[in-house]
Structure 1
Amino acid sequence: MTKIEKARGAAARLVESPPGWLERLRADEGPVALGVTWLDAAAISDEEDGVFDGIMHTEATAEYVREHRPHMVRVASGPQYAGMNGLEGEAAWYVDMRRPERLLLAPSSSYPPFLWIPAGDTVDGMRGALGGLFPSPKPTRVTLPKTARGFMGYAGQIGVPNVYSGEFVPIDGLELDRYYTMNTFTELSSWGSAIIDDPYPDEFVPPIQMMAAARDFKKQSPGVPAMTWRTAASGSYLSIEAHQGRLFVAEARYRPSPNPQVIEEMNAEFGSTFPTDLPVDVVGALIGFDFRPLDLWERELAVEEEPGHILGKMEIAVALAHGDLDAVDRLRPYFRHDAPGVRAALMNFALAYNLDSLLEELVLTETEEEIAEQLHRILDEGTGNSHPDIFEEGAAWDEDDEFEEDDEDE
């Protein structure tokens, strides 16, 4: 049986014998107050949601969609929500005809089923599923109370599909913007690290004016270059940072999701390591990338003995600790490694992030004269920034690196 035949059969079964709880909800005024519009029998029978979602699926997530999507029957739409520049999105509600005892909420019909939110069979359940989504007004940086950071991979070893050819290409600013323009989880345009808050207006702006403004919005400040997008459903901020010209870190600023079971089940299904309180649109925007938080690296560092591996893990850990003084403090013991060569390399990591206070502590305990002199010279001259802007088109990786689509992280 084809996927289309499965989908039509599932819809026919629901139309012929709808669950009693669904009939009760249809007669209730509560869903209407939430902005939900029920589909009639004809619309359910004719509904054929496409599965194109613009996502950089893994083999496992793509197979999950192929297996599960044909059994899902859309029964309602809404609420609608405002995107950037006057564009609108719309939520969708489904019944899984293998388990027709509850509704499932998709913030958009193009979300994969593993990111749909269980909504039970009551108005309260629907309201709970909508919790944290479609905020009005949209949150700003200071009203997004939580931060999650994860290592995505190395430049030259990860990429994104080119929107024209579909082939994987190294990451730069142009390719990332193109990818997220096609991605269902983010609003259309990004801004650079020189901009603190979302600079884009909600109301319609003529394209020519928007293009002119966007050039200024994408500027980078000294330090770690970053590109940030607002996510479409929760209004979170998703930043992708380029550290030391060689590795990528994702940072999410968000309001904790009241439905953590969705990400818990996704992590269990795919072996991913996303914080479970992340909103589903943040996680969706990171599908296809690794997201390995600092606590995983700290656990590995605690038992690591090989100096080269310590340096590799510390380079990632220090990048993930950027902006978090408590995290930097937890990493301090590693900067006092017994081997002088390791200490010297770690000193360069501290230098890259302007960790002057840490360098001042290290110079007091350094026993190697050459390293101590170098530390004194650095502190006398002042620390600088050493993070090239690899978001410039074509600058994503060193010419000596080899771009490989399927490389594993170290």
Structure 2
Amino acid sequence: MTDFAIPDWWGGLTGERLGVVWLDPADWEPAWQHVEESGAMSLEHRDVDDELLRKGKLLVGTGPESVRRWTRQRLAAAWYVDPDEPDVLWCALGGFYPAWLWVPVEPTAAGVREVLGEPFPAAPAARVELSRFVRGFLGLRHLVTVPEVPAEEGVPPWEAVPAEDVVVADGSSLDRYAKIVKFLDPQPWGSARQEDPYPEETPGGGGRMVPSLMDLAPIRDGHRLQRLGRVPSMTWRTLHSRSQLSIEIHTREVVCAAVRYRPSPGSHRPVVRRINEVHGERYPEDLPLDVIGVLGGWEFGVEDDLARSLDDPDDADAVGAGLRCLAALWHGDLRRSLELREWAAHPDPAVRANLAMIAHSYNHRFLLQELALSETDAEELARLEDLLYHEPDPDAFNAFHDDFGGAAIMVDEDGDPVGAWEDE
């Protein structure tokens, strides 16, 4: 397909050793013929954007590859040129990336190396090396959903096909869904593990992956356990940036996504800026693109969105719910969490009850003290003082409704099993 001029830079760039397999110009094909499913949910307006951005672009190269841990799925980057804009090369870090995540690249060896990062994919990192952090509100527990991914006999779980129906995002449904999302390595870990516990190679050696091991190993080895006293969470490593993306359930109901990451390359940031402008998002501009590929299936609420629920102090239901959501976003940030004290004297007991639950869930003794100082009801004051002087046990709620076939779901700080309870 060569009914247009080959870009002037083509000969020089394709002679470089960059890990890219450049196609013969006679084999260039329209980008819309190379739509690869990512497995991730996507909102309708983003699908429309993907179609618009693919128009006119041609696939001109593939590679280098990334491999999803234990699956042997080899996922190559893809490179595109728009004949109407020949001085720009477009990079999809994986052929499954939608076009709204493609990065415009200067068509030089330096430009290609910068957009990929060195090494590609990024090296695995400990939590302390993931220097940036962001948390967003996804919704209440019974309203956050994922596609149903039914098991199919003889089909590896990472190759399963999602159904059209959606289901509530509990531990089992999140696990099955994440296995088909190519932006993620498919192995989750719970809050009992603070570091990624999985080896790069398949357990047992030999490099051969038994599909059932993908489901068995996390439970057998205790990696799906929740830790009593920590916010219940499920965490995955992303494919390219090696970020850690967690789904958390705060105060039994508030679902958040939390991400620890290294800042993305500078060339990626205009892409995030455009997503924020066009799609009304407020992602940090240095947030890695593979993370956004996962988060793009949900509404990602930030503090400004949630603070509106506090605009009418007389609406006790909205204020109470808003405070629980903000407390979740502020978890780990003491300076912001101290702002909860400002509501301790609210006249409605329902608001104060929500604050007491927040204080218990996060062990905010300062908030219990503030509530006690403001309380005028003798019976409620006695209850607050009892919480202060006789600290109750941490909440053992089975937030993800996990069922490991009789195996422990939660452990204490010594690693001993703890009985968990459910609300239904």
Matched, 1:391 2:400: yes
Match of 1:255 in 2: 262
TM-score (norm 1): 0.85
Aligned to 2:393, the other structure's residue is in SS state coil
Match of 1:244 in 2: 251
Match of 2:167 in 1: 169
Q: CA deviation at 1:278?
A: 0.7
The separation in 2 between residues aligned to 1:273 and 1:46, in whole angstroms, is: 32
> Which aligned pairs between 1:223-372 and structure 2 lie closer than 5 A?
223=229, 224-257=231-264, 258=266, 259-298=268-307, 301=310, 306-372=315-381
The separation in 2 between residues aligned to 1:149 and 1:132, in whole angstroms, is: 27
The separation in 2 between residues aligned to 1:209 and 1:167, in whole angstroms, is: 27
Q: CA deviation at 1:214?
A: 1.3
Q: Which runs of 5+ in 1 are unaligned?
A: 1-11, 400-410
Q: CA deviation at 1:326?
A: 2.2
Match of 1:39 in 2: 23
> Which aligned pairs between 1:26-175 and structure 2 lie closer than 5 A?
26-27=14-15, 29=16, 32=17, 34-45=18-29, 48-85=33-70, 87=72, 88-131=74-117, 134-164=120-150, 165-175=163-173
Q: Which has the higher helix share?
A: 1
Q: CA deviation at 1:144?
A: 0.3
Q: CA deviation at 1:26?
A: 2.1
Match of 1:20 in 2: 8
The separation in 2 between residues aligned to 1:148 and 1:46, in whole angstroms, is: 37
Higher relative contact order (CA 8 A, sep 6+): 1
The separation in 2 between residues aligned to 1:358 and 1:388, in whole angstroms, is: 22
Name the amino acid aligned to 1:25: L
Q: CA deviation at 1:167?
A: 0.8
> Which aligned pairs between 1:170-185 and structure 2 lie closer than 5 A?
170-185=168-183
> Which aligned pairs between 1:196-235 and structure 2 lie closer than 5 A?
196-205=194-203, 206-207=209-210, 211-215=215-219, 216-223=222-229, 224-235=231-242
Name the amino acid aligned to 2:141: A
The separation in 1 between residues aligned to 2:142 and 2:215, in whole angstroms, is: 29
Q: Which runs of 5+ in 2 are unaligned?
A: 151-162, 204-208, 404-419
Q: CA deviation at 1:234?
A: 0.2
* Structure 1 residues 171 and 45: CA distance shift in structure 2, 3 A: closer
Name the amino acid aligned to 2:174: L
The separation in 2 between residues aligned to 1:64 and 1:330, in whole angstroms, is: 40
Deviations 1:287-341 (A, max 9, x none): 1211112354346636755332211211111111222212212333123324444
Aligned to 2:353, the other structure's residue is in SS state helix
Deviations 1:167-202 (A, max 9, x none): 111111121111111112101111111111111111
Matched, 1:378 2:362: no
Q: CA RMSD in A?
A: 2.7
The separation in 2 between residues aligned to 1:377 and 1:338, in whole angstroms, is: 21
TM-score (norm 2): 0.82
Q: CA deviation at 1:100?
A: 2.9
* Structure 1 residues 341 and 300: CA distance shift in structure 2, 3 A: closer
How many pairs align?
A: 382
Aligned to 2:273, the other structure's residue is in SS state helix
The separation in 1 between residues aligned to 2:326 and 2:313, in whole angstroms, is: 13
